[in-house]
């Protein structure tokens, strides 16, 4: 796990981007958005390049059906997230992985319909000043799972139930995917291992890994 703060842009980082990334980068008008995008994509390339012993600028990404990037034939899995000033990159030696970091939301009205009924029952007891951080903690846990499977927000996050923010991270249920084996709506990826990630003050983060095996998370701040 690598986390970084996006503070500035450098020409050396820009040179790592491919044409598509460069177009996105150049389309961003606000300097903080540019710094965030550039830091994220440069970090991802540097991490992958080092792990695979390849030129970071030469990596060619493919995308899954819902946009999850991957490297054909590389034998590694990875995930990227960026929010506010934070970037997170997760890399595994083959276990599908999803990472999500989010700045603690400053929305006056939280989008509570993304919570399941079980989560909502707990959330409704969270005191006012803690609600934004608690909501963000739920959100990153759910989104990390959906990024690990590659479905992203094509799946209604309210179908997932994760543990309460003050409990160890865990996927407790996934409505529509709990039926007997062999049914179409049972996805092959469960179970999911979920871990919280220290994304820094004012942020929440989580990483999800598909499958039974326990994992050792090695955090690196760059």
Residues that bind ligand COA (CB under 6 A): 40, 66-69, 79-83, 98, 100, 143, 147, 150, 152-154
Q: What is the DSSP letter of 165?
A: T
Contact (Cβ atoms closer than 8 angstroms) between residue 21 and residue 42: no
Report the nearest approach of ligand COA to the CB of residue 96 (Å).
10
CB of 128 to ligand COA, least distance (A): 25
Q: Which is nearer to ligand COA, 129 or 147 (CB)?
A: 147
State which residue has the least CB distance to ligand COA.
Answer: 152
Q: Which is nearer to ligand COA, 65 or 182 (CB)?
A: 65
Cβ proximity to ligand COA: between 67 and 179 the closer is: 67
Cβ at position 91, least distance to ligand COA in Å: 13
Element holding 90 (H helix, E strand): strand 86-92
User: Minimal CA–CA distance to 148: which of 194, 105, 197, 210?
Assistant: 210
Q: How far apart are CA 155 and CA 141, in angstroms?
A: 14
**Nearest-approach distance from CB 213 to ligand COA, in angstroms:** 20
Which residue's structure tokens are 């609600």?
131
Quote the crossing angle between the two packed helices 31-52 and 19-27, to the nearest 10°.
160
């Amino acid at each position: 796990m690598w986390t970084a703060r996006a503070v500035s842009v450098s020409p050396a980082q820009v040179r790592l981007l491919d044409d598509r990334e460069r177009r996105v980068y150049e389309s961003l008008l606000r300097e903080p958005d540019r710094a965030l995008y550039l830091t994220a994509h440069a970090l991802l390339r540097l991490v992958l390049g080092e792990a695979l012993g390849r030129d970071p600028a030469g990596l060619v990404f493919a995308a899954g059906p819902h946009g999850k990037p991957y490297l054909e034939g590389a034998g590694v899995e990875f995930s990227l997230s960026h929010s506010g000033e934070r970037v997170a990159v997760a890399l595994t030696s083959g276990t599908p992985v999803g990472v999500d970091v989010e700045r603690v939301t400053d929305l006056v009205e939280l989008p509570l319909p993304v919570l399941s009924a079980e989560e909502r029952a707990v959330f409704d007891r969270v005191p006012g000043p803690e609600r934004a951080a608690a909501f963000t903690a739920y959100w990153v846990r759910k989104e990390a799972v959906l990024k690990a499977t590659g479905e992203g927000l094509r799946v209604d996050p309210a179908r997932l139930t994760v543990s309460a923010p003050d409990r160890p991270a865990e996927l407790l249920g996934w409505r529509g995917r709990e039926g007997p084996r062999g049914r179409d709506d049972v996805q092959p990826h469960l179970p999911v291992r979920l871990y919280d990630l220290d994304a820094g003050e004012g942020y929440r983060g989580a990483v999800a890994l598909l499958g039974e095996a326990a994992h050792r998370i090695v955090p690196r701040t760059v």
